Amino acid sequence: MTSHSTKKHSKTLWAILIATASMNTPVHAENTGKSILDQQCVSCHTLSLTTPQTVEQLWESKGPDLSSAGVKYKSEWMTNWLQKPVRIRPAGNFYANHIKTGEKSDVIDKATLVDHPKLSSNDAKLVVDELMTLKHNQQLVKQGDYQPGTISMTLGEMMFDKFKGCLACHQIEPGYGGLSGPEVYTAANRLQEDYLISFLRNPQAWEPKNIMPNKNLKEIDLQKLVHYLRALSKEDFK
C-alpha cells in the first residue's frame, strides 16, 4: 500500500471513530427555568394554586407558595436573592415548628432550619423568568393601587408598632421586632407595591388559613404603611 493510500485509510478510520463516539455520547438538555423548578424547588414550594384546607396543612409547608410569584415579587430582587439567599423568616416558614424553650422565653432552634440552596447567575435568571409567568390570584391585584408618597420614619414606626401592633411579629431592622413573621425591612425591595396594598387589605383573600390578621385598615393607612416599608428598605442596617 502506498503512503498516499495509508494516509487516506487513516483519515477514513478516524472519521468513523469520531462519528461513532458522537453517537454514543449522551446529549444533555440545557437547563430551563421550569426544569430547575421541577428538580430543585417543588419539594418545598407550591407552583400551582393549591389552597391548604386546614391550618395543619399550612404549617407543614416548607416554603412560601410561588403560584402568584409574577404578581408578588420584584424580579431583580429575586434574581439577586437566589444567588445569595438570606433568611427572610427568622423562625422558618412556620414559627411554631422551629422554636424551643429558653431561659426567659421561646428561642429559635436553628438546628431545625435549612438554608436555601444557591443558584448560579444564569440559573437564577432562568428560574425568575419562569416564576414571573405564574400569576394566580392576579385578580386580587389592581395595577396602580399604590399611590407613591412619603412618610417620616418616626410616624411610620409609630403607626407600624404602636397603632397597628405589627412589630410583635415582624422585624423592622435586624434583631429588632418579632420573629413569627417575615422581616419587613426588605419588604419593599422584594415585593411589588400593588401586591402589598392588596395583601394588607385582606390577607385571607390570598390565603384563607393565613395567620396574618386582617386589621381592616383604611385605604389611607394602607398607603401609609407601604410608604413606610419603602422608606424602611432604603435604610442601611449594616
Model confidence pLDDT, tens digit, residues 150-166: 999 999 999 999 999 99
**Average pLDDT of span 129-152:** 96
Q: What is the pTM (predicted TM-score) of this model? A: 0.83
Q: Is residue 234's pLDDT more than 60?
A: yes
Highest mean pLDDT among 9-23, 28-42, 48-62, 77-91: 77-91
- Dihedral sign from CA coordinates of 222, 208, 63, 97: positive
pLDDT one-digit tens code per residue, 163-175: 999 999 999 999 9
Lowest mean pLDDT segment, chosen from 49-58, 145-154, 160-169: 49-58
More confident residue, 103 or 2: 103
The band of 53, judged by pLDDT with boundaries at 50, 70 and 90, is: low
For the segment 198-208, the average pLDDT, to the nearest whole number, is 94
Of 71, 51, 48, nearest to 140 (Cα)? 71
